[in-house]
Chains A and B, each alone.
Chain A
Amino acid sequence: MTTAEKTRGRFGIYGGQYVPETLVANLHELERAYEAAKQDANFAAELELTLREFVGRATPLYFAERLSADLGGRVFLKREDLTHTGAHKINNAVGQALLARRLGKRRIVAETGAGQHGVATAAACARLGLECVVYMGALDCERQRPNVERMKLLGATVVACEAGSRNLKIAINEAIRDWISRPEDTHYLIGSVVGPHPYPAMVRGFQSVIGREARAQILQREGRLPDAVIACVGGGSNAMGIFAGFLEDDVELHGVEAGGKGETHAAPLNSGTPGVLHGALQYLLQDDDGQILNTHSIAAGLDYPGVGPEHSFLKDSGRAQYHVVRDEEALAAFKLLARREGIIPALESSHALAFAKRLLAERPGLSVVVNLSGRGDKDLPSLMERKLL
């Protein structure tokens, strides 16, 4: 059992269910369904088959030889970019879509930042014949245009959210409001380890396949565990997924937040204070009056003022360390991986790569696993438009 399950949705003080009364019945229903599904061998078998045949798991653990020589260590990439739809998001999307079908829900709503969760959800819904509505900040629709087209092609309705910061935070607000309006027939398929219980524990559960595979793969290849595991953190689902495999081991865990342009950023674990957003107590970028601050990151998927409650807990307990990488450092890592290894990473994952470079510069010779959470094709039009390539 994870901490959250033992304490009804709390990781230390973090988490909880801070939602309007209208949604409480849904959360309780979801909690029960998830617990039942976990005990059900048929559900496990169906999920396993879907992950293998539809998602394309297991993903490789790739030894990046030329990058390793460059950075001065042994760098392994967990290739979530090779999954169907191109990011780790699909692991959770298929898991929750199967669960929603079990609950008899016919309609799925989701939020998306970079568009990867939206595409994954649209694909999972198409496969199961579920109606799909994806909320996406209008700013993100502009900077991740290829993903908007992919979602539409997969049969999803994409709603561009024009309010306020026009990014991921606004998309989550809108998705939750939709769910409040149609709680009976709709499942909210949240894409990260955020939101009210049981979402953080459940999404971690569906993403923990990354860590399970990575641990077995590195042991088989190297005969030992890595010194460190590195992942980028927006809401924190890819990080929680890979951390889950190594939490009990003597392995350093490094989460990397988006430092943006410096003065404006999206790094709540480094610069925030505890507060409630989107149903959970967590580290948060907020002002003295409790208003949520606007964020900036070059990576739409990291552009979020909050972070999962379990990361908030891991920070306080010291089990994981959280660092900040700025836009320009991430962009340099993006280009470096393309040149050295022939792999174009997502801008989100590039933050993790940039930190790997920093860590190996300080402590050469370490063996590190970087979660390459997604591929970067989606980022090209926007980067080219802004003449950043």
Chain B
Amino acid sequence: MSVHALTAAFERARNEGRKALLPFLMAGHPTPQALEHNLAQAGEFADVIEVGVPFSDPLADGPVIQAAAATALKHGTTLSGTLDVLARRKAGPPLVLMLSVNQVLAGGLERFAQRAAKAGVSGAIIPDLPFEEQQEAREVFTRQGLALVSMLAPTTRPERAEAILKHAQGFAYLISVAGVTGAREGFAPETIEYIRRSAALSPVPVCVGFGISRPQHIEQLREHADGFIVGSALIRGLEQGLSVADVLRPLREACNQQTTGVRS
């Protein structure tokens, strides 16, 4: 798997006239061995799966994902243990790791990229590695065929967004609101405007994350974006005893609905 697998996954979704769904699973949550099973189930609904590797001090995560990370760490979840689980997977949508820059640097950037590529991972989202600090990681990732996923926020200035998107690989992650991860009520007109503006600039598909928990959220934004990232809502569902399928099915249906204005 590689950055090309990501590109292919979005192409397939577009050709089928639907939006991509990108669920987020936290390794080691809710039980120590849950990832393997949940990956398989998520594979039926997802175009790309984000796999979170828990960190002790995440900055951009809201209470739900923080608590999930704390649980996962208590379960002894590690980066290498997580990569072992991913390496055993035989089939399914491409995988993207989500983790903190310190986890990437701890064992060395080069070694991280080699291990991730060997485990079949297509890329990584590193929220605390902003554009200005990315150059070295991008070079190392590129050598291993990995995408370093670019992130934009509502606070990102237009000229900066342009520079970031110029380097985007696989897809771009649009943070929907100024805030931490977590479910929210709805989206303001300026959020929609920011998504439209970013999508217009982007050479790669744009996916909206933070606050996507209900089919209505997808319906509200679907004509402006290419995919939707579901994190806290899935984590919370799993904690309430729901299955991955229970949570993702209605969201998948919202992604499947045809719209008149499919973004080309």
Contact = CB atoms under 8 A, between A and B. Distances in A.
Interface of A: 16-26, 163-164, 169, 173, 176-177, 180-184, 275-279, 284, 286, 288-292
Given A21-B130, A21-B155, A164-B56, 20 more contacts: A17-B130, A18-B130, A19-B130, A20-B60, A20-B128, A20-B153, A21-B151, A21-B152, A21-B175, A22-B179, A24-B156, A26-B155, A163-B66, A182-B178, A183-B178, A279-B128, A286-B102, A289-B103, A289-B106, A290-B107
A173 B179 contact: no
A180 B127 contact: no
Closest 8 CB pairs of A and B: A290-B106, A22-B153, A290-B103, A20-B60, A181-B179, A25-B155, A21-B153, A291-B56
A275 B102 CA distance: 6
A290 B79 contact: yes
Contact of B70 (A163, A169, A181, A275): A163
A288 B175 CA distance: 30
B155 A24 contact: yes
B57 A173 contact: yes
Interface in B164-189: 175, 178-180
A177 B102 CA distance: 18
A288 B78 CA distance: 10
Interface residues of B, number: 40
B178 A277 contact: no
A181 B102 contact: no
Contacts of B106: 275, 286, 288-290
Contact of B60 (A180, A182, A275): A180
A276 B60 contact: no
A138 to B, nearest CB: 15
B129 interface: yes
Contacts, number: 117
B262 interface: no
Given A290-B102, A290-B103, A290-B106, A20 B59 contact: yes
Contacts of B62: 177
For the residues of B in contact with A, the DSSP-based class is: loop
Interface string B48-67: 00000001111110100010
A26 B157 CA distance: 11
A288 B59 contact: no
Contact of B178 (A19, A180, A286): A180
A18 B130 CA distance: 6
B133 A16 contact: yes
A54 B258 CA distance: 65
A95 to B, nearest CB: 25
Contact of A22 (B101, B103, B131, B178): B178
Contacts of A286: 102, 106
A16 to B, nearest CB: 6
Given A21-B156, A277-B102, A169 B57 contact: yes
A20 B127 contact: yes
Which one of A18, A19, A176, A284 has the greatest number of beta carbons of chain B within 10 Å?
A18
5 contacts: A22-B154, A180-B59, A284-B102, A290-B106, A292-B57
A169 B57 CA distance: 8
A24 B134 CA distance: 14
Nearest to B179: A181
B155 A22 contact: yes
B105 A290 contact: yes
B73 interface: yes
B61 to A, nearest CB: 8
Interface in B99-155: 100-107, 127-133, 151-155
A290 B100 contact: yes
A288 B80 CA distance: 11
A19 B154 CA distance: 15
B79 A17 contact: no
Contacts of A20: 59-60, 127-128, 130, 151, 153, 175
A17 B132 contact: yes
Given A18-B133, A163-B70, A286-B102, A277 B127 contact: no
B128 A276 contact: yes
A278 B57 CA distance: 9
A286 to B, nearest CB: 7
A22 B154 CA distance: 7
A279 B57 CA distance: 11
Given A169-B57, A183-B155, A24 B130 contact: yes
A40 to B, nearest CB: 24
B66 A276 contact: no
A164 B57 CA distance: 9
Contacts of B70: 163-164
A227 B164 CA distance: 51
Contacts of A23: 155
Contact of A289 (B57, B58, B78, B156): B78
Nearest to A184: B178
B179 A180 contact: yes
Contact of A18 (B58, B128, B155, B175): B128
A367 B129 CA distance: 45
Nearest to A23: B155
